Each structure stands twice: as structure tokens, then as C-alpha cells.
């Protein structure tokens, strides 16, 4: 028997359209100012660390596409009860990661790249489990790309150097994370 659902087709079309229009101006419709500022700083860190503007843009674009697609799935009630439990665990882990990032920033020489890397890897694994049946392998690759990039121990070590070149970026990232936690966003 042929299974057709206009709701499924509409959701698929929305995901496709959103994946093609993940530009800075269109992102403003889906991502608040604080998150946008954090993404800008993450871009600057990636560009400064890798020395590759196009790679830094690709990481941020992948991050935005994934966030928008997951938001779309959530708004369209596509997650099962079990998946919503995974989403709740992911949000808790993300909150823990934000608190850890801020703590490492506030207290010099406490940074442990193993701890941050483990939190980010755990977040990646939960996210992949959450979207396993909803997104394509290409989207799964985007998730891996983003999390593998930002959980790189060398990048994290450079980011957290107390007198390092990325200290101003880290300051803005942590202030943004703090605001998102206060607002209850993460």
C-alpha cells in the first residue's frame, strides 16, 4: 500500500528550503540576537584557529542548518516520547557544558580540554541519537563536522589560553552563554 502524507511532504519541503537559505540574514528569523552573537564569535575563533575562512563559514552554516532543522522537527511534534527524553537530556548536557565553559573562563588555569571535549562529544552523540530517524546522513555528517571541530583539544586549549589571541572572543561567548542560561534558553 502506498503511504502518502501531505504533512510529511510539507515538513520535508520546509527542511529542504531552510537548508538552502541558511544565510546570515535569513538566520535572524530563527535565531535570537544573543545566539547570533555567540555564533559570530565562534566563527571568528574558527577562522582565526584554522586560518581558513571558507572552513569557518562551513562549520557555522552546518551548525545553523542543524539547529533550524531540529527546531522545525520540534515545532512540528515529530519527536516521540522517547526522543523528547533524549532532547531533555541533551539540553541538560548543553547547560552543563555552558556552565563548565563559563567556569573555566572565570577561573584562569582551571581549563581541562578533556572535560570540555567529553561534554561536546556526549552532546554530539545525544544529538545524533535524537535525529537518527528524522534527518539524512548528510545532516548527520553536519552534526559530526560541527562537534568534531569544536571538541578539538588543540582548538579548545588555544581558546582558553588566559593571554591567548581568542580571549576577547571567549569573553563574548561566555557572556552570551550566561545570558542564554539566565533566560532559560539553555
Q: What is the pTM of this model?
A: 0.83
Name the 3-class secondary structure at 183: helix
Nearest-angstrom CA–CA distance, 160 and 172: 13
Nearest-angstrom CA–CA distance, 43 and 61: 10
What pLDDT shows up at residue 72? 84
Who's near 4: CB < 8 A, 6+ residues apart?
A: none
Q: Over its length of 186 residues, how does the chain's per-residue pLDDT go in tens digits?
A: 456 555 565 666 666 665 555 555 555 556 788 988 999 999 999 999 999 999 999 999 999 889 888 988 888 899 999 999 999 999 999 999 999 999 999 998 899 989 999 999 999 999 999 999 999 999 999 999 999 999 999 999 999 999 999 999 999 999 999 999 999 888
Nearest-angstrom CA–CA distance, 29 and 87: 23
Cell 544529538 maps to which residue? 127
Q: Please say whether the beta carbons of 111 and 155 come within 8 A.
A: no
Amino acid at each position: 500500500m502506498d503511504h502518502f502524507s501531505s504533512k510529511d511532504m510539507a515538513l520535508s519541503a520546509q527542511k529542504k528550503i531552510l537548508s538552502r537559505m541558511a544565510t546570515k540574514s535569513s538566520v535572524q528569523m530563527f535565531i535570537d540576537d544573543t545566539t547570533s552573537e555567540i555564533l559570530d564569535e565562534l566563527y571568528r575563533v574558527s577562522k582565526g584557529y584554522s586560518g581558513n575562512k571558507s572552513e569557518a563559514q562551513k562549520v557555522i552554516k552546518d551548525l545553523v542548518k542543524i539547529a533550524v532543522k531540529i527546531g522545525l522537527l520540534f515545532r512540528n511534534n515529530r519527536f516521540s516520547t522517547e526522543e523528547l527524553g533524549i532532547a531533555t537530556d541533551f539540553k541538560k548536557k548543553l547547560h552543563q557544558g555552558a556552565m563548565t565553559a563559563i567556569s573555566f573562563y572565570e577561573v584562569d588555569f582551571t581549563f581541562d580540554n578533556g572535560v570540555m571535549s567529553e561534554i561536546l562529544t556526549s552532546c554530539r552523540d545525544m544529538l545524533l541519537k535524537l535525529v537518527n530517524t528524522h534527518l539524512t546522513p548528510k545532516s548527520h555528517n553536519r552534526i559530526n563536522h560541527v562537534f568534531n571541530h569544536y571538541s578539538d583539544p588543540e582548538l579548545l586549549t588555544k581558546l582558553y589560553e588566559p593571554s591567548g589571541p581568542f580571549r576577547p572572543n571567549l569573553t563574548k561567548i561566555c557572556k552570551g552563554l550566561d545570558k542564554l542560561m539566565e533566560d532559560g534558553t539553555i
